Amino acid sequence: MTSLVGPRPGSTKITASLAVTAVLLVVLLVAPIVTYSIPLNPVAFNLLQSHCIPSQPQVTCANLSEFYPDPTTLTARASLSYALLGVGGPPFPGYYTMANGNYSTSGGRGTDVFFLKGTSVTGAEYLPYPSVEVDPSGVVAIRNVSLVRGPLGIVNFTATVQNIGTQAISGAQVVFGVPGNGDNFTYMGVNWIQLPTFGQLLNVVGCPDSVAPGAECVASFQAISETLSPGQTFGYTIQVTGAVGGVGLLYNQWFQGVWPTREATPSWVSNFIQQVNLDRTGPKLTENSTLDAFAKERFQTQVANSSISNYGFQQDYAKSFPGSGPQIGEDTLWTGTDTPLEYITFLQQSAPGHWSVLTNPDFTQFGFYIGYGPSIFVSQPCSITEFPGNVNMTALLASNGCQFHIEQAVWLVIEVGS
C-alpha cells in the first residue's frame, strides 16, 4: 500500500502569512518612522555667550539675542531599529549649516556650522561668510604633519596646507585642535578644539591673504598647556578655513598622535657627553662619582627654589668641598626629546653660556643627576633663551614681555670640574 505525504490543508496560507509578517516587520524596523528634533538656537547662543568679550562693544553679552532672532529646530527621522538598538543610519548628517543673524565680522550675514553625532550637537562654529561648504573634496590637502617637543620644552605642531583646487583661497587660516589648548568637545570619538569666534586665537595660524592654486602654507602651533601624559595616544584636528569664490570653506581632518615624552636617561647623557667631547679642544670629559653626588645635591637645592637659576651654588659647594676644593661649573638643563646632537645645536645657537661651561678645557670630569620638578616653559618669540646664574627667572621673563607657564618636567643637572 502506498502512502502519500503532503502539506496539510491550509499550510500554504500559513506560510504566506508568516512571510508577509516578516516583510512587514523588516519594513517597520528599517523605515524612517521615528522623529527626532534638535533645537539649534540654545547651542549657538551658548557658543557665542562663552566667547563674548565685553571690551569689544560690537559683541557683548547683552546683545547676543540679535544673532538669532528666529528659533531654529532641526527635524529628521530614523528607523525603529536605530531608536531601539542604535543600528542603522542616524537621523542627521555629520553637520548642518544655518544662516547667522544680522551681524558678522564681514559686515553681512554669517553662517553657523553645527557638528552632529547621532541625535546630539557636539560642536558649533561661526564663519563670516553667507554660505559655507564643509569638508569639500579636491580643494585643500593637509600634509607633512608632525609634533615634536622643542629644545625649550614646548610641544610644536606643524602642518603644510596646499591648495589643490583651481581657485585661490582667500583669508585662509589653519586651526590646530589640540586637547587642553582651546574649548574642547568630542566629535566622532576624537577630542576636537572649537574655533573661538572672538578674542585672541592662540591656536590659529594665518596664511597669506590669498593662497593660489598649487601654493602651500606651512603653519606651526605651540601647545602652551599640557593636559596629556607623556606617551599618551590622543586625537587632534587640523582645520582650514577661508573662502573660495565668496563661499566659505571649512575643512577638517582628524589625526592620531603620541604626546612627546620629556625624559632624560643615563644613556642619553652618555651619548650627549660623547658628542660634547667631539667639540672640546682640551681633554675629554670623564665621569666622576663625587661630581655625581654633588649634582644630586644641587638638584635637591634647586628644585626647592625653582624660580631662581642655579640657586644656592656657593652654599652647597662650601658644604661638599670644605677648604680648597676643585673648580666646578654647572649647567641645569631641560633636554626635551631632542637627540644629543640636536640639543648640542640648540646650546650652541641659543645658550652659548651653557655650552661654554661644557667645552671649557679647564674641566676634565663631569657628574650628573636626573630629577623631576617644576620647570619654566617659554613660548616663542622671546628674547631670553638662557638664564644667567642667580636670577629670578620668572621676573626676568615677565620684564621682557615673554609668555611662559610652569609645569612638572625632568631636570638634568651636570657638574663639570677639574
pLDDT in tens, 39-92: 776 555 555 444 444 444 444 444 445 555 455 788 888 888 887 877 788 888
For the chain, the first-to-last Cα distance in angstroms comes to 119
The answer to the question of residue 240 being in a domain is yes
The answer to the question of residue 241 being in a domain is yes
The answer to the question of residue 112 being in a domain is yes
Burial class, 226, CB count within 10 angstroms (exposed 0-12 / middle 13-18 / buried 19+): buried
The answer to the question of residue 121 being in a domain is yes
pLDDT in tens, 312-361: 999 999 999 987 888 999 999 877 667 788 889 989 998 999 999 999 99
The answer to the question of residue 13 being in a domain is no
Same domain, 363 and 401: yes
Query: Among the three residues 259, 294, 309, which one is the final residue of a domain in this structure?
Result: 259
Same domain, 151 and 277: no
Please choose, from the candidates 178, 206, 205, 204, the residue with its C-alpha nearest in 3D space to the C-alpha of residue 193: 178
pLDDT in tens, 120-149: 777 777 777 888 999 999 999 999 998 887
Same domain, 250 and 328: no
Determine the structural domain holding residue 101 and report its residue range. Answer: 33-130
Q: CA torsion 187→191→197→202, rounded to 10°?
A: -160
The answer to the question of residue 109 being in a domain is yes
Query: Among the three residues 207, 236, 259, which one is the final residue of a domain in this structure?
Result: 259
3-state secondary structure of 96: strand
The answer to the question of residue 10 being in a domain is no
For 220-234, what is the mean pLDDT?
Answer: 80
Report pLDDT for 3. Answer: 43
Per-residue confidence at 194, pLDDT binned at 50, 70, 90?
Answer: very low
Percent of the chain exceeding pLDDT 70 equals: 76
Assign residue 297 the CATH number of its domain: 3.40.33.10
Same domain, 334 and 405: yes
For 222-246, what is the mean pLDDT?
Answer: 84
Report pLDDT for 172. Answer: 92
Q: How many CB atoms lie within 10 A of CB 66?
A: 11
Per-residue confidence at 32, pLDDT binned at 50, 70, 90?
Answer: confident
Percent of the chain exceeding pLDDT 90 equals: 34
Report pLDDT for 71. Answer: 57
Same domain, 281 and 407: yes
For 286-314, what is the mean pLDDT?
Answer: 93
For 180-191, what is the mean pLDDT?
Answer: 52
CB of 329 closer than 8 Å to CB of 414: no
The answer to the question of residue 27 being in a domain is no
Of the CA atoms within 13 Å of residue 88, those in its CB half-sphere come to: 19
Note the pTM of the prediction, 2 decimals: 0.57
Please choose, from the candidates 194, 18, 34, the residue with its C-alpha nearest in 3D space to the C-alpha of residue 114: 194
Q: From CA 98, how far away is CA 73, in angstroms rounded?
A: 10
